[in-house]
Amino acid sequence: MEPILFLAHTEPDRSLSKQAMEALSAAIALGGEITVGLVGAATNQIGNCGASRFLAVEGDAFTQPRYATDAAAVEALARASGAALIIAPHTSRWARAIPGAAMRLNGRVDTHATGIQVVNEVPAVTRWFYRQRMEAVLTRSQRPWFVLLESGCAPAWSGAPADPAFERIAVDVKPRTTVTGVRAPQSGEQTIRPDAKLLFVAGAGWTKKQADGATHADKAEELILGFLRASQASLGGSKSLVDLSGEGQSVLTCMTHLNQVGQTGSTPRHPKGLATCCHGEEPHVVGWRFINERRAINLDANCGWARGKADILYVADAFAVMDEVNRRLSG
């Protein structure tokens, strides 16, 4: 097996994320000689992972996500390690910086990889194409080859911390950009939880006129947030629902475009999913392909979910069902 560099950036608290630990265990499973390369802080968290070398690029400039400093740090670590294969977690920070670093090294990068294993004695990456409709296994002859692994595709490495001898790699880069803070689109409470056991999807029906001829967006939001708090489920939305704010209709303030599931949204991975007030049209359900057990609540017995897309369809009023579910969860 070719020499491997496991490349990760530390979080603001100097720790490594769970996703980084997953990428580390995927790298170890390949069986090659591993070098650890850290950007940000030389944490002792993975000192026992069995790597032969530990490299770090440290300093205030490298604790912040910034293309110029991240790409320079990645390039320096890749050169210092001499690795042919570089495995990193697919974080938004790495997705921005690593392709540029790969270019500088005349290497190649594959993003959104869902697995890497040795096939016929060479590393092979698994990746989905065409919005998760086709899965490919691919190899590359060019080196260095950067592979960015998606979260949830490997068990997270766990082990006792230890203090390895870090080699500090100096990187001479003068950033012209200052990070003054983070402005995230989701200003309310956190509703997207990639590690949750359940995906709870809300559709546009929550904002439509109900049996009494009126809309009840406030009640809908209260029921949805109450359920999310009690169950720690992750919140998804249909396109129709997340688009409503642009149409001046009554909206759920907890919902943004980041929550959208489907063909033009995300394809989250959770063991179970519950769709509520959502019709279950193909462009939406295509985002459910990694949800193992699917249930839906809809007033319409002929909705899309009824046509083989859900394991169980409850033909019922989602307001009444979720009210009762929340009552039982709080009891």
Ligand X SMILES: Cc1cc2nc3c(=O)[nH]c(=O)nc-3n(C[C@H](O)[C@H](O)[C@H](O)COP(=O)(O)OP(=O)(O)OC[C@H]3O[C@@H](n4cnc5c(N)ncnc54)[C@H](O)[C@@H]3O)c2cc1C
Q: Does 279 bind ligand X (CB under 6 A)?
A: yes
Member of 90, 284, 294, 309 binding ligand X (CB under 6 A): 284
Q: Does 207 bind ligand X (CB under 6 A)?
A: no
**Cross-strand partners of 89:** 149
Instruction: Give the residue with the Cβ less far from ligand X, 124 or 299.
Output: 299
* Distance (Å, whole) CA 71 – CA 61: 12
Which residues have CB under 8 Å from 83's CB, separation 6+?
2, 3, 4, 5, 35, 144
Candidate segments 70-78, 101-109, 149-157, 238-246, binder of ligand X by CB under 6 A: 238-246
Q: Does 278 bind ligand X (CB under 6 A)?
A: yes
Member of 56, 113, 148, 241 binding ligand X (CB under 6 A): 241
Q: Which two tokens stand for residue 237?
A: 């939305």
Hey, which residues between 292 and 311 contact ligand X (CB under 6 A)? 297-300, 303
Instruction: Give the residue with the Cβ less far from ligand X, 69 or 240.
Output: 240
**Cross-strand partners of 235:** 200
Length of the chain: 331
Compute the CA torsion angle 273, 263, 316, 256 (nearest 10 deg): 80
Closest separation in Å from C-beta 314 to ligand X: 9
Q: Which two tokens stand for residue 290?
A: 């990694």
Q: Which two tokens stand for residue 283?
A: 């462009």
Hey, which residues between 169 and 188 contact ligand X (CB under 6 A)? none
Site string for ligand X, 245-264 (x = CB under 6 A): ---------------xxxxx
Hey, which residues between 60 and 79 contact ligand X (CB under 6 A)? none
Candidate segments 4-12, 146-154, 175-183, 233-241, binder of ligand X by CB under 6 A: 233-241
Which residues have CB under 8 Å from 130's CB, separation 6+?
none
Q: Does 238 bind ligand X (CB under 6 A)?
A: yes
Q: Does 218 bind ligand X (CB under 6 A)?
A: no
Closest separation in Å from C-beta 300 to ligand X: 4
DSSP string, 280-327: --HHHHGGGTT-SEEEEEES-TTSGGGTTT-SEEEES-HHHHHHHHHH
The footprint of ligand X (CB under 6 A) covers: 203-205, 208, 210, 238-241, 260-265, 277-279, 281, 283-284, 287, 297-300, 303, 317-319
